[in-house]
């Protein structure tokens, strides 16, 4: 069964969701990140997806206190993205308790550095974060575009031990209109040795069941959970059977 990875996006230490990556379209939720992590762990979720949106804009982690709190109090894996632009930043994220680090802008703009991190830490700890808009990779918190494709980026790091890629379709993110299924099935078929995580557009358990039937391995769900389109009970049943 496909693994559901709930998302917790952070601005100013609070849970938020953006629409299509637009910081001007931010919705703040009442639940604290720690409370959400505890609820997910209680449902049997094995991993959560934490995104430091402040850090993504600042090019350095800004919400590590939240990561430290969750890592010390919740028995759950954490994958952390946002602001990891240097060796020092990467070390601070791993030292704060992250199970895995998601590297996006550095991988696209400074590929030799990400290649070195893959070699040093391994594909189990280093995740390529590929944010896609109109078929091209976006960087720096989705604020800037590049001319690279997801295939070009994946091919670049396969020799260095790449094993995990999170692909976010920015046009679908926060829209609750369903994921770009064709994109993910094509990538997973093209690179069977890499785990591609579906990110963006999940609106219901029906979307997740469809992805599961197609053989996809991991999916991130955020707004659908916060908006109660996916209930905690549905999450619990799926996670306990996965």
- Give the pLDDT confidence of 163-220 residue by residue, as tens digits: 999 999 887 766 677 899 999 999 999 999 999 999 989 999 999 999 999 999 999 9
CATH number for the domain including 57?
3.20.20.70
Taking residues 79-87, what's their average pLDDT?
Answer: 95
31 secondary structure, DSSP code:
S
Other CB atoms within 10 Å distance of the CB of residue 104 = 28
Other CB atoms within 10 Å distance of the CB of residue 169 = 22
Buried b (16+ CB within 10 A) or exposed e, 21-54: bebeeeeebeeebeebbbbbbebebebbbbbbbb
Q: What is the largest CA-CA distance in the chain?
A: 44
pLDDT at 242: 84
Give residue-wise pLDDT tens across range 123-135: 999 999 998 988 7
Give yes or no for a contact between 4 and 205, defined as CB atoms under 8 angstroms apart: no
Q: Please indicate whether residue 195 is annotated as part of the active site.
A: no
Distance CA 34, CA 38 (A): 6
pLDDT at 24: 67
> Strand 126-133 and strand 136-139: pairing?
antiparallel
Taking residues 99-106, what's their average pLDDT?
Answer: 95
Give residue-wise pLDDT tens across range 15-72: 887 766 666 667 777 689 999 999 999 999 999 999 999 998 888 999 999 999 999 9
Cα-based distances in Å from 238 to 117, 157, 233: 34, 32, 9
Distance CA 104, CA 109 (A): 9
Give residue-wise pLDDT tens across range 217-234: 999 999 899 889 999 999
Long-range own/partner contacts, residues 87-92 (CB < 8 A, 24 or more apart): 89/60, 89/61, 90/117, 92/61, 92/64
Residues 6+ apart with CB under 8 A from 227: 176
Query: For the chain, what is the total number of helices (H) and then of strands (E)?
Result: 11, 12
The domain total for the chain is 1
For residue 5, is pLDDT > 90?
yes
- The predicted model scores a pTM of 0.92
Q: Please indicate whether residue 173 is annotated as part of the active site.
A: no
pLDDT at 145: 72
50's enclosing H/E stretch is strand 47-52
Domain that includes residue 20, residue range: 3-241
Distance CA 227, CA 239 (A): 19
Assign 234 to helix, strand or coil.
helix
Split at pLDDT 50, 70, 90, the class of 90 is very high
Catalytic residue among 52, 54, 131, 212: 131
């Amino acid at each position: 069964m496909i693994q559901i990875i709930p998302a917790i996006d952070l601005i100013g230490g609070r849970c938020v969701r953006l629409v299509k990556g637009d910081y001007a379209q931010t919705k703040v939720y009442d639940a604290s990140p720690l409370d959400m992590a505890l609820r997910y762990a209680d449902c049997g979720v094995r991993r959560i997806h934490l995104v430091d949106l402040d850090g993504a804009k600042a090019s350095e982690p800004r919400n590590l206190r939240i990561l430290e709190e969750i890592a010390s109090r919740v028995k759950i894996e954490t994958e952390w993205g946002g602001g990891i632009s240097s060796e020092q930043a990467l070390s601070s994220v791993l030292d704060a308790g992250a199970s895995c680090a998601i590297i996006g802008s550095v991988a696209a703009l400074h590929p030799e550095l990400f290649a070195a991190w893959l070699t040093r830490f391994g594909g189990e700890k280093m995740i390529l974060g590929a944010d896609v808009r109109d078929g091209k990779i976006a960087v720096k918190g989705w604020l800037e575009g590049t001319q690279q494709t997801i295939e070009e980026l994946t091919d670049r790091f396969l020799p260095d031990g790449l094993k995990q890629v999170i692909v976010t379709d920015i046009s679908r993110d926060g829209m609750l209109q369903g994921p770009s299924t064709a994109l993910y099935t094509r990538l997973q078929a093209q690179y069977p040795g890499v785990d591609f995580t579906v990110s963006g557009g999940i609106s219901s358990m029906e979307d997740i069941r469809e992805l599961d039937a197609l053989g996809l391995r991991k999916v991130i769900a955020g707004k659908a959970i916060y908006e109660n389109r996916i209930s905690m009970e549905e999450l619990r049943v799926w996670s306990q059977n996965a």
